[in-house]
Structures are given as structure tokens and as C-alpha cells.
Structure 1
Amino acid sequence: MAEQQNEEGESYDNEVITHRLRDDALSKVATLHRKVAEEVRLSGTAIQYKAHRYSTVAVVISHDGRYVVSCSKDATVAKYDLEEGKIVASIKYVKGNCTFHRGQIFCLAISANDRYLVTGGSDAIIRVWNFSNLQHVKNLTGHMNAITGLVFRLNTQQLYSCSKDRYVKLWDLEQLGYVDTLFGHVDAVVDIDALSRQIFIKERLITAGSQDRTVRLWKVPEDSHLIFNGYASCFSIDCLALINEDHFVSGSADGSLCIWSIFKKKPVCTELEAHGRGADNQANWIVSVAARRYTDLIASGSCDGFVRLWKVADDYKSITNILSYEQSGFINRLRFSDDGEEVACAVGQEHKFGRWWKIAEAKNVITVFSLTYDTKE
């Protein structure tokens, strides 16, 4: 009897291990969509630090979850060690040295296996750095105006960039060289995102065209793209993030938060005034969005004093605000860690792309707050 129970116990353990290994494999190749939003909680722990003199514009978390890298309008980059609780490396402009940015830095990204850090800004040059020590590797030139977004294709060294010059460019960091240019937007391209699509051997990315009021899905191998139009009264589309291969979220200056399907030309869900109205009775615009990829959890940032976490419905036709994290200032960029347990916020007194108004009581900081999940096995 005891032997039978042991065999049954071992069989159950093997099934559990097999199930977890399968889920892990599926999540890595982007076929598993997890429901985690109902289980998420604010852990109550947060780290906040000041790394820049002027507004923090962008932030990214390393793939191993240990480091947070941020950039600012003051032309600096800072690498923060979450384990040691301190800044361990930085990049600052040195007059006469062409390896450093001259002017504001708007975006950054980290390649697969935390090999490279790339940065871009108002000087229209992409600068490649060795992530481990922030030593300069190479400059990538070709854009003719400020670079506003950078993203790597998931688990690769393929880099995509977007710019106020209206172009999207492809780069290969294995060769440290230029690959292609994508044309289509008629206004500044202000945000970009990409996933893998490796199962279907596709290469696709999405971009936000600001005041041309479109999102474009680029089918790179086919050299074509699809156009998604904002709703009739949409003023602009300023930020976006892929939820999975077929759905994405966008935010606009009119305060609307939209969920899209790549099979529909219009949003399948629109949450008007997602961050309420300001003192001037105007809707607070959506400055940043993020998605915990392949789950039903997304986040949005504005200037209303809160980072908001949302649950996306199973049919993607509605979203529900489930949690709010208090944070004064412009939430210029949001990032989930790969495991979804941390959210990094680039916070500034000013909007990332302008100085239309200033929140005097806010601080130019980086905030990293933690999440826990009531996981049901």
C-alpha cells in the first residue's frame, strides 16, 4: 500500500513538473496567455532613487531582473543595481567627446542576454554600449531627427528604431550595422514595440504616429504594413505596447486608453478619460503604457498622481482598473520586469517630449514598485 502511494505521489510530482516545464516553454515561444490580473497585489515595497538632474524620460529593467537603467533630458544614463541598492555605472556628456549624447536622451533598450544597451535622443544618433560596463561600442547613424523609440525583437540582437523624421529603421547588432528603412507615417513616430512571432517565422512590429492618429503594424519580410486608425475624435496616439502577438494597448493625449486587435482597423475597446480630468477640467493625457506580455495585465501612466493597473477582459472588449500606485509627476515611461514582479517608472516634473507645463511638487526620480501574485496552481 505504501509503495502504491509512493508511486502515485511520484507520478503526481512528475505531472506537476511536466506541466510547469510545458508552461515555461510555451511562454518563451509566446503561445501561452496567462490570466494574472485578478491575482496581482501591491507588495508594499518600493525603491525610489534620484539619478538625474532633469526629468527622467525612459527606463528599462535588465532581463535578469537585477539592474534598472534610466535616461534623462540632462543627457545622462544611470545603471542601478537593485541588489546593492546603488548606482553602479553612468554615462555623462563630455564636451568634445563624440561617443556621448549631445542633448536630451529619449529612449533606451537592452538586447537579449543583457549584451548591449542602446540609447537614442535629440542628436539623432543611436549609441551602442556594452551593458556590463557601459563602455561605448559604436554609433549607428541614419536618422535625420530625434530618435524617440528603441526596441529589440524578443530574444534577438535585431534592433528597431523610430524617429521624429517619420522613419522606422532596422539594425543588426550582431553585425553592428544598418539593415532597412520602413516608410509610411506622415507625422513623427513617437513609440515602438515588437515581440518575436518566432512560431510563425514572422517579423513584425508596431509604431505610434502621434498626430497622424495611426498605429502601423509592419510586416517586415513582406515589406508591407497595416494601418490602424484612431477613433473619430482622437487627437493623437502617443504610446503603445504589445500585449501578445495579436493585441496591443495604446494611449492618447485626449486621455483615452485603447485595446486593439490586429484583425480590426479600429479599437475593440476605448476607455475615455482613463486617468480622469486635471485642474483645468481637461482629460489627463496618457503618457505611457506597458503590458506584462502574454497576460491580461497592463499599466498606464499620466500626470494625475497614479500609475494604474488594468485587467483586460478575455474578449479584449473591456478593461477594469484593479490597482493604483500613487506617484506624483509625469510617468514618462513604464516597464514590467520579465517575471512581472517589478514595475519601473521614469518620473519627471515635465513631459518627456516637451515643457508645456511643470509639476513643481514632483521629483525627477526612478521608482520601482513590487507586485505579488496569489498564484493558483
Structure 2
Amino acid sequence: VTGGRDKAIHVWSVADDSHVGNFKQHRDLVSSVTFRKGENQLYSASFDRTVKLWNVDELSYIETLFGHQDQISSIDTITRERCVTAGSRDRTLRMWKIIDESQLIFRAGGGATADDLVAMEKLKKPEKQAPLAGGSLECVAMIDEDYFLSGSDVGKKPIFTRLRAHGTGSPAADAPEGEPSHCAGITALATVRYSDLFVSGSADGHVRLWKVAENLKTFALLTTIEIPGFINSLIFFEAPALPTEAAPSSSEPAADTPAAKPTSRAEVIRAKARATAAAAAAAASNTLYLAVGVGQEHRMGRWWKMKGVKNEVRVITLG
């Protein structure tokens, strides 16, 4: 399922390589879509400030959720009939409880200081008292049914906040001549569901992997992966391990042994079948991958453009 500036949601069949249908009820661009885990229920978020529910099997509309006062930039859900949304510059995160027909509102303040935040690192007094302009809530990702992460310029009283997770960016005055100032806001988040691992992206040239503490009240940096450009999307997925160059040689019989030389066409077929089965068994255990959507520009607007960066998708093997 995809959504975009045409205000439509398009449903595609990967197996048939075909376009199945579309939904056109949104009045502005579709910024984010997500499925309930194991279900055919689709949630979509739009710049028209609404969340809409759809039944993809029947290609039918279910209902619309209202509440945000600004464009919705991100949405996420897992298993329950609920979702979490980020409301950009209305500075609210909303947990929508579909069955109860209610919503919980988490507000992020403007003009806060570091003293208002639960910061991970010890800051010097001038840094604590320095004002932090209220910014846009760009992205949200659920860890499990009760905990979620948000990425923004500044937040107010969450359980835990990491200040300047991707740096502060280069002010326009310090940027090289002819180059735009640097964006260091969190532009993308993704979690490994029901685990302690998540990843964040910005435009500082690095994707950062984090580990959440067992008490779910702090997190720490695990490692960084250098990727230049705007990190516009992140997603974890599991798939069979990629074949290695050594795999074919290990499954093929040795050429210098009499038993390895098939004497009939039937034996050749059986040998190939055994090799195929062995390769399938070796790939049965799935590997964790991270897909990264990289762009020259921010996905929501053309405020910056990075030279020498390609619009591409990168897949990283995590093991």
C-alpha cells in the first residue's frame, strides 16, 4: 500500500505485479500508512488532519478520526485496534482507541528548556537554562502496545528524552558558502517490535541504533551507520539470509570422488534436488534487515538539498 501527493492510497499486489485499487477520500496528501499486525485493517494519516480506517480485503472505507490541529506526519500501530499519530506543529501525539471511540493526548511544549526534559546526559548549567524552541513532531514508532517513541525538535515531560540525538546542525552563518544550513531534526524512527532495539534517522550523515533499558525508562546508543542524505524512512524486516559466494561450493559434491559423479540423468536431478533442499534448510532461519529510504531532500518539502546524494533505498544486514 502506498500514499502520496495525489491524495490517494493505492493498493498493490506484489504476487501479481498489479494495481488492485485505490482510496480517494483524503483531501490532502497522504503522509503515512500502516497495517494492524496480522489483519487487513489499514490506517492512513494525511495533511488534511484526519486518520482514516480501511478494509483492504473489501477495498472499503470504515471511519474517520478527527482531533489534530495540524497536518499528521506519522502513524503507527501493532496488534490492538489502536494507533498513535504525530501532529507536526500542533505538538501533540495522540493515542487513538478505536473500540472505545476515545483518544489520549500527549502534549509537547514550546519554549522549554533542558530543565523541563528528562535528559540522559549531564548538562552544564548554561545548557540546561538555554531555551529550546518548540518544533514539529515528525515521527512516531511503537515499541509495544503500551510504549512508543517520538522524534521531534523538542519534547515535554516524556518518560525519557535524549537531547540533540543527531547533533544540532550547522547554523546558516556557519554553513559553507553556497550550501544550505543543516537539518538535525529526527526525520524517521523504526522499532523491532516487542524488543529493546530501535533506530533513528536525520540528515547528519548517520543512522543511529539504540538499545532501550529493561525498565523502559532510558535508552543508550549502540552504534552508528554512515549514510549521507536525508533519512526519510526506516523499517526493520525479517527475511531469509542472502546467499553467499561460499554456499554453492559447500552444497555441491566434490569432483574428485567417485560418488560425486552422477552416472545417469536421474542421479543428476536427485543431486540438484538435494543441493536445493540443503540451501533452503540453511536459509530457513530468517535474518534481521534494516531498509533505509534516503533522499536528497526532506520528504515533506524542498527546504534543503544535499549535493552528491542519491535518492535510493539501502538494505543493511543486522543478523
Aligned match of 1:358 in 279, 289, 305?
305
Aligned match of 1:248 in 127, 148, 157?
148
Aligned match of 2:50 in 167, 170, 190?
167
Counterparts in 2 of 1:150 and 1:283: CA distance versus 1, 3 Å = closer
Question: Which residue matches 1:290?
Answer: 190
What stretches of structure 1 move > 3 A for 4+ residues in a row? Answer: 231-234
CA contact (8 A) 1:275 1:283 kept: no
CA contact (8 A) 1:125 1:141 kept: yes
Select the structure of larger CA radius of gyration.
Answer: 2
Question: Which residue matches 2:13?
Answer: 130
Question: Any idea what the Cα deviations from partners look like across 1:127-179, whole Å, max 9, x if unmatched?
Answer: 11112133111121210000001000000110000100000000011211000
Aligned match of 1:226 in 104, 113, 116?
104
Post-superposition offset of 1:316 = 2.3
CA contact (8 A) 1:301 1:331 kept: yes
- Partners in 2 of 1:358 and 1:156 — Cα distance? 38
Give unpaired runs (5+ residues) of structure 1.
Answer: 1-117, 198-202, 259-264, 373-377
Q: Structure 2 matches for 1:156-235, cutoff 5 A? A: 156-197=39-80, 203-232=81-110, 233=112, 234-235=134-135
Q: Structure 2 matches for 1:49-128, cutoff 5 A? A: 118-128=1-11
Task: Report the more deviating stretch, 157-166 or 270-279.
Answer: 270-279
CA contact (8 A) 2:11 2:22 kept: yes
Question: Which residue matches 2:130?
Answer: none
Which structure would you say has the larger RCO, counting Cα contacts within 8 Å and 6 or more residues apart? 1
CA RMSD of aligned residues (A): 1.6
CA contact (8 A) 2:141 2:149 kept: yes
Question: Which residue matches 1:328?
Answer: 228
Post-superposition offset of 1:315 = 2.1
TM-score, scaled relative to structure 2: 0.73
Post-superposition offset of 1:326 = 0.5
- Partners in 1 of 2:14 and 2:36 — Cα distance? 17
- Partners in 1 of 2:213 and 2:109 — Cα distance? 20
Give the % identical residues: 47
Question: Any idea what the Cα deviations from partners look like across 1:42-77, whole Å, max 9, x if unmatched?
Answer: xxxxxxxxxxxxxxxxxxxxxxxxxxxxxxxxxxxx
- Partners in 2 of 1:174 and 1:138 — Cα distance? 10
Question: Which residue matches 1:343?
Answer: 290
Post-superposition offset of 1:266 = 3.9
CA contact (8 A) 1:218 1:225 kept: yes
SS at match of 2:318: strand
- Partners in 2 of 1:133 and 1:352 — Cα distance? 29
CA contact (8 A) 2:43 2:52 kept: yes
- Partners in 2 of 1:175 and 1:208 — Cα distance? 28
Aligned match of 1:270 in 139, 161, 179?
161
Post-superposition offset of 1:317 = 2.2
Give unpaired runs (5+ residues) of structure 2.
Answer: 113-133, 175-181, 239-285
CA contact (8 A) 1:284 1:303 kept: yes
- Partners in 2 of 1:121 and 1:283 — Cα distance? 23
Residue 276 of structure 1 aligns with an amino acid whose one-letter code is G
CA contact (8 A) 1:186 1:212 kept: yes
Residue 40 of structure 2 aligns with an amino acid whose one-letter code is Q
Question: Which residue matches 1:88?
Answer: none
The reply on whether 1:155 has 2:33 as its aligned counterpart is: no
Aligned match of 2:139 in 233, 236, 239?
239
CA contact (8 A) 1:273 1:283 kept: no
The reply on whether 1:303 has 2:303 as its aligned counterpart is: no
- Partners in 2 of 1:241 and 1:210 — Cα distance? 14
Question: Any idea what the Cα deviations from partners look like across 1:310-357, whole Å, max 9, x if unmatched?
Answer: 011122222111110010000100000146710000001100011101
SS at match of 1:337: strand
CA contact (8 A) 2:183 2:204 kept: no
- Partners in 1 of 2:78 and 2:215 — Cα distance? 21
Residue 161 of structure 2 aligns with an amino acid whose one-letter code is T
CA contact (8 A) 1:161 1:168 kept: yes
CA contact (8 A) 1:309 1:321 kept: yes
- Partners in 2 of 1:283 and 1:330 — Cα distance? 9
SS at match of 1:244: coil
